[in-house]
Copies of this chain bind each other. A is one copy, B any other.
Amino acid sequence: MKIRPLSDRVIVRRVEEERTSPGGIVIPDTAAEKPMRGEVLAVGNGKTLDNGQVRALQVKVGDKVLFGKYAGTEVKIDGEEIVVMREDDIMAVLED
């Protein structure tokens, strides 16, 4: 199933960060805070401004992004957990 976000919404798949305690022990994810990184899976066609003009999004599919811990809504589609958020919830793009 394909999911097409509306307007300025973006579909993001969270990327789990490896967490190691000072003593070198890997902390299983449920014991740690949820990560704030993800990969963009789909983007909307843009936000309609007050003058009727549509502004395309700045992020694109495949971008690694940083977002707030409580950004967006979590949804399960075909067994996979994704997050639907507005582009404005994305703070930055991470580049290698």
Contact = CB atoms under 8 A, between A and B. Distances in A.
How big is the A interface, by class?
35 or more
B51 A90 contact: no
Number of copies: 7
Interface string A60-96: 0000001010000101010000001001101111111
Given A36-B75, A49-B50, A66-B75, A4 B95 contact: yes
Interface of A: 1-7, 9, 11, 36, 42, 45, 48-53, 55, 58-59, 66, 68, 73, 75, 77, 84, 87-88, 90-96
Closest 10 CB pairs of A and B: A2-B95, A5-B92, A84-B91, A4-B93, A52-B53, A3-B92, A50-B50, A6-B58, A49-B52, A3-B94
